[in-house]
Amino acid sequence: MPKAPPKPTDSELEILHVLWQHGPATVRTVNEQLSQQREIGYTTTLKIMQLMLEKGLVSRDDEGRSHIYRAAVREQDTQGLLLDKFMAATFGGSALKLVMQALGNRKTSADEVAQIRRLLNDIEIQNANPSSTPSSHDDAPAA
């Protein structure tokens, strides 16, 4: 079984977000996107992306004059990894405590409540019938 990629640092996660949102890109393109949020030098972006390549977080197409980088990890998988580590460290692994904290600290829209209800219903159905496949919630808004 292949080894899971390591947890990305905050800077690596910023780069992954650019690649997930815009697709394969050169270092210059990634740097231009990052520079819209904060000041960051080209060589800094290059070095981080080279380290990410070594870690297996990105892959690189070396053909042609410009190297094209693409995310080697899926956004959903990375979110799951980060959430699992955060939930374990912060909430003792309790999904209930995490959800209660998240919902208790902000105004939740009627649409979000409806989506949460649908998710809970799907989980109840799945738990009642473990042989069924989990449904996809790609329409759920990003947090």
What domain range is 42 assigned to?
10-71
Residue 15 within a domain? yes
- The structure tokens listed for 66 are 């410009």
Which residues, 6 or more positions from 30, have their beta carbon under 8 angstroms from its beta carbon?
15, 18, 19, 45, 49, 69
Residue 93 identity:
G
Residue 25 within a domain? yes
If asked whether residues 21 and 67 sit together in one domain, one would say: yes
Instruction: Reduce the DSSP state of residue 122 to 3 states and report it.
Output: helix
What's the predicted TM-score (pTM) here?
0.74
pLDDT tens readout for residues 54-95: 999 999 998 878 899 999 999 999 999 999 999 999 999 998
Asked if residues 73 and 57 have their Cβ atoms less than 8 Å apart, the reply is: yes
What is the distance between the alpha carbons of residues 143 and 137, in angstroms, rounded to a whole number? Answer: 13
Choose the weakest-confidence range: 2-6, 19-23, 46-50. Answer: 2-6
